[in-house]
Amino acid sequence: MENETDAFYRELPKVELHAHLNGSVSFKTIEKLISRKPHLNIGHDMTAIGKGQRRTLDECFQVFKVIHQLVDTEEDILMVASDVIKEFAADGVKYLELRSTPREDKNTGLTKKKYVETVIKAIQQCKSEGVDIDVRFLVAIDRRNGTDVAMETVKLAEEFMLSSDGLVVGIDLSGDPTIGDGKDLLPALQRAKNCGLKLSLHLSEVPSQLEESDLLLNLPPDRIGHGTFLHPEVGGSQSLVDKVLKHNIPLELCLTSNVKGRTVPCYSKHHFKYWYELGHPIVICTDDKGVFSTDLSQEYQLAAFTFGLSREAVWQLSQRAIDCIFAPDTVKQQLRQKWIDTQPQGIK
Ligand code: 5GP
């Protein structure tokens, strides 16, 4: 049964800005997908990392490949996106930016364009059903796929930015950080920026990316995913930190993902502390709530417990995330009002 503390975090209105669609698929939805494709012989242990378990980053990326096998038709994408949106809403998320890498599949007739259209359809359907959440979409570039695919992805996102009634708001750069070079993706990212797409880039997820991070920070991106190894205490550099501070670029921080993926040794050593103490804008996110068996309420609770945050501090953290969203100012105003309307007594 939910206790009073759990209820506080569940009821806390929240903003989720770093959620990969196929990493966010819940146990329940995976079950439905498995029953649609029993011949694949996929078990739950292959699609999620349970409590207390940890994997290497490489093993985490293997998990996404398994989930991709289960999600390879328009019908699957529609169900997955719609379930994920409703689950975030049930967890008290009022504004969600979902991100996903468009895929094509010759066997099922899936095209990248259909992929994006289907995610948009799920967002629109949830809206028309009255689900209490504002959802936007970031089209993701998988760094593994190189220059041409990155450019093709940006063009696709550009097309949908103009035709989706504000639902497609930006580009995500993700994928295995040990593969590919960010330098090759610069022309595509620059184009995205020039045409008005916002940029959220995974930066310094592993220690070997200092040069690349320096280069990508010159764009500059609008938000940073993880940024685990940017600061000097973990082998990053003050000049990288200075660039982040100069451009005031918010960081999307995903505690459980980083601990389970072993890029951070334990919760108390998470770089949340470094950036929080600087007073820099940070947003607590889930990354892959399905794969890492978590949700956003739990992530807030974990941060509060680990770093001794008061309820007031937690409330401020969730409220300040509104400043970092990619949707326009009118949406920010609406969200700010929502926070004011639901603020519990005793929290200033
Ligand atoms: P999808 O884009 O298929 O909806 O979500 C899964 C994909 O998101 C993965 O294949 C990977 O490219 C990306 N992804 C998910 N989690 C992470 C992460 O923690 N780090 C990085 N770099 N990429 C991730």
What number of other Cβ atoms are within 10 A of residue 208's Cβ?
A: 12
- pLDDT confidence of residue 57: 86
Tokens read off for 146: 């190189």
Of 205, 212, 252, 299, the active-site residue reads: 205
pLDDT at 81: 98
Mutate to test the pocket of ligand 1, among 84, 103, 174 (most ligand atoms within 8 A of CB): 174
CB atoms within 10 A of CB 65: 10
DSSP 40: G
Average pLDDT over residues 176-204: 97
Q: Which residue among 49, 64, 118, 149 has the greatest number of ligand 1 atoms within 8 angstroms of its CB, and so is best to mutate?
A: 64
Ligand 1 within 6 A of CB of 202: yes
For the stretch 219-254, pLDDT in tens is 999 999 999 999 999 999 999 999 999 999 999 999
Residue 205 annotated to the active site: yes
204 and 210 in contact (C-beta within 8 Å)? yes
DSSP-derived secondary structure for 129-166: TT-S-EEEEEEEEEGGGHHHHHHHHHHHHHHHHHHTTT
Percent of the chain predicted with pLDDT > 70? 99
State how far the alpha carbon of 113 is from the alpha carbons of 154, 215, 278, in Å. Answer: 12, 30, 42
Closest Cα to atom 10, ligand 1: which residue? Answer: 64
Could you tell me the pTM of the whole model? Answer: 0.98
Task: Say how far apart CA 153 and CA 105 lie, in whole Å.
Answer: 16
Report whether residue 288 contacts ligand 1, using a CB cutoff of 6 Å. Answer: yes
Instruction: Give the span between the Cα atoms of 310 and 316, in whole angstroms.
Output: 10
Report whether residue 299 contacts ligand 1, using a CB cutoff of 6 Å: no
Q: Is the CB of 101 under 6 A from ligand 1?
A: yes
Reported as a single tens digit per residue, the pLDDT across 6-31 is 999 999 999 999 999 999 999 999 99
What confidence score (pLDDT) does residue 2 get?
Answer: 75
For residue 69, what is the enclosing H or E element? helix 57-70
pLDDT of res. 225: 98
- pLDDT-derived band at 4 (thresholds 50, 70, 90) equals confident
Residue-level pLDDT at 113: 98
d(CA 305, CA 298): 10
> For residue 176, which atom of ligand 1 is closest to its CA?
22
pLDDT at 250: 98
The CATH code belonging to domain 4-340 is 3.20.20.140
**What are the tens digits of pLDDT across the range 318-329?**
999 999 999 999
Radius of gyration of the chain (CA): 19
**Nearest-atom index, ligand 1, CA of 144:** 12
Instruction: State how far the Cα of 276 lies from the Cα of 283, in Å rounded to an integer.
Output: 10
- Provide φ and ψ at 164, rounded to 5°: -100, 15
pLDDT (average), residues 186-201: 98
Q: What is the pLDDT of residues 293-343, one digit of tens each?
A: 999 999 999 999 999 999 999 999 999 999 999 999 999 999 999 999 998
pLDDT value of position 1: 58
Matching residue, tokens 């328009």: 74
Strand partners, 282: 251
**Residue 345's pLDDT is what?**
80
Range with lowest mean pLDDT among 49-58, 106-115, 165-174, 215-224: 49-58
Q: Residue 221, preceding bond cis, omega within 30 degrees?
A: no
Average pLDDT for residues 157-184, to the nearest whole number? 97
